């Protein structure tokens, strides 16, 4: 999974990136145009250690998320499309966008628009993205109409009709997320990587002093979370970045002092998994216990394909049980004797927390 971190300049994007990726990219400076921070971060999962213990795995391999941190979105971005095409192209490949919105007040960090106004910023970034998508829609429509002027091929007509619906939505300044598309229509336009079609996580970046008002802030932004494929998370990025740079014991003390129950990293990951409909499954053997990501509703064969492409074709069955059952049984033989280990076939829908042992034909 790849998440693109976007937002106005100087709102804390790189600070959020550092928190999530536990990295040290330079903050404060205007990330120069074209500069992109990339990082792969482990998804913390306590279940993995427990499984490794039971199975006696030598190591654990967590699932990962890739983060992409780009320069701030400014009003001129669409006019400067040439210059920014690199950044936009990068964003078109991500699975979801995390839009960092500044709520913290800090005189020493001037806002490009002269004041801190989160709703205005959300509006202007949405508008920039809608314009960027609209440009693609219009170019494509032009080309299709020219090309198929005198022909009435149903497939092209369908695409034209669909793009016209996209155009209409975008011209109203609305994101494509609001369109109710069939699977087929979805497939038709997936290749364009429309920014306003991607699941959106609004990250409200507050200061330490606003932590007391966190419920009110959540309430204030809840209307965005009610929009299709959109979720909201409130966090104090600077505080969280400092927290992420401490070792585990110090971090625990620090969190207790600040009255934080889970780190932003955990909340961010949980929220983005939910937003994207992702689940985790595990594989274990004496070498490693490993966590993997799937979409809800995907099958044991899809799981096999995640592990190894050849595995999907060679799939025979999967010995399956929930991680809780395995941990509570204490061992595989014990779980088996209790009848907790099930043989599941190709169409089995993998459940959150399943441990899979996939049997495949060696050819
Ligand atoms: N007071 C305060 N300052 C912050 C916070 N988050 C970021 N900053 C500061 O805002 C400036 C811009 O941060 P940066 O992460 O580089 O923003 P970006 O341009 O969006 O990537 C830096 O000086 C940060 O130290 C915050 O939560 N509180
Ligand atoms: Mg930055």
Domains (ranges, CATH) in the chain?
2-116+194-275 (3.40.50.300), 297-360 (3.10.20.30)
At residue 23, the pLDDT reads: 72
Alpha helices in 172-202 (DSSP H): 183-190
CA distances from 338 to 50, 68, 321, 331, 341 (A): 20, 46, 11, 11, 8
Q: Packing angle between helix 154-171 and helix 183-190, nearest 10 degrees?
A: 80
At residue 207, the pLDDT reads: 93
Mutate to test the pocket of ligand 1, among 23, 28, 71 (most ligand atoms within 8 A of CB): 28
At residue 29, the pLDDT reads: 61
The whole-model pTM stands at 0.88
Cβ(207) – ligand 1 distance below 6 Å: yes
Distance 290 CA to ligand 2 centre (A): 32
Q: pLDDT by residue (tens digit) across 236-278?
A: 999 988 888 888 899 889 888 877 777 788 889 999 999 999 9
Averaged pLDDT, groups of 10, the chain, 363 residues long: 91 91 71 72 92 96 91 60 68 94 90 89 92 94 85 82 96 93 90 95 94 94 94 93 87 84 84 93 96 95 92 94 96 95 96 96 75
CA distances from 266 to 43, 161, 233 (A): 8, 42, 11
In the sheet that 342-344 helps form, which strands lie side by side, from edge to edge?
59-61, 288-295, 278-284, 354-360, 315-322, 342-344
Residue nearest to atom 6 of ligand 1 (CA): 12
For residue 205 the two structure tokens come to: 């970046």
At residue 356, the pLDDT reads: 97
Element (H, E) at 360: strand 354-360
At residue 193, the pLDDT reads: 94
At residue 325, the pLDDT reads: 97
Q: Which ligand is nearest to the CA of 203?
A: 1
User: Integer distance in angstroms from the first to the last C-alpha of the chain?
Assistant: 30
Cβ(10) – ligand 1 distance below 6 Å: yes
268/235 Cα distance (integer angstroms): 9
At residue 75, the pLDDT reads: 59
């Amino acid at each position: 999974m790849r998440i693109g971190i976007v937002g106005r300049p100087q709102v804390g994007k790189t600070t959020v990136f550092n928190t999530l990726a536990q990295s040290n990219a330079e903050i404060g400076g205007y990330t120069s145009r074209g500069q992109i921070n990339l990082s792969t971060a482990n998804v913390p999962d306590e279940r993995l250690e427990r499984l490794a213990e039971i199975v006696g795995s030598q190591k654990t391999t967590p699932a990962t998320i890739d983060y992409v941190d780009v320069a701030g979105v400014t009003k001129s971005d669409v006019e400067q499309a040439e210059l920014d095409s690199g950044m936009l192209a990068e964003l078109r490949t991500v699975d979801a966008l995390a839009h960092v919105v500044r709520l913290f007040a800090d005189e020493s960090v001037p806002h490009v628009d002269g004041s801190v106004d989160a709703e205005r910023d959300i509006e202007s970034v949405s508008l920039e993205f809608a314009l960027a998508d609209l440009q693609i829609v219009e170019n494509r429509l032009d080309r299709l109409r020219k090309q198929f002027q005198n022909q009435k091929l149903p497939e092209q007509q369908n695409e034209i009709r669909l793009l016209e619906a996209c155009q209409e939505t975008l011209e109203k300044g609305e994101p494509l997320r609001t369109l109710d598309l069939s699977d087929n229509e979805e497939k038709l336009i997936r290749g364009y990587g429309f920014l306003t079609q991607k699941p959106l996580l609004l990250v409200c970046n507050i200061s330490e002093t606003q932590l007391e008002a966190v419920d009110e802030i959540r309430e204030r932004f809840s209307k965005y979370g009610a929009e299709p494929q959109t979720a909201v998370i409130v966090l104090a990025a600077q505080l969280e970045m400092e927290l992420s740079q401490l070792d585990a014991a110090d971090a625990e003390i620090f969190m207790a002092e600040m009255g934080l129950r889970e780190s932003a990293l955990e909340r961010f990951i949980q929220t983005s998994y939910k937003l994207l409909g992702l689940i985790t499954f595990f594989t274990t053997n004496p070498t490693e216990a490993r966590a993997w990501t799937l979409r809800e509703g995907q099958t044991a064969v899809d799981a096999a394909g995640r592990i190894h492409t050849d595995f999907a074709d060679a799939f025979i069955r999967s010995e399956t049980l929930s991680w809780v059952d395995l941990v509570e049984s204490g061992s595989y033989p014990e779980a088996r004797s209790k009848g907790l280990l099930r043989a599941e076939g190709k169409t089995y829908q993998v459940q959150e927390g399943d441990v899979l042992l996939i049997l495949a034909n060696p050819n």
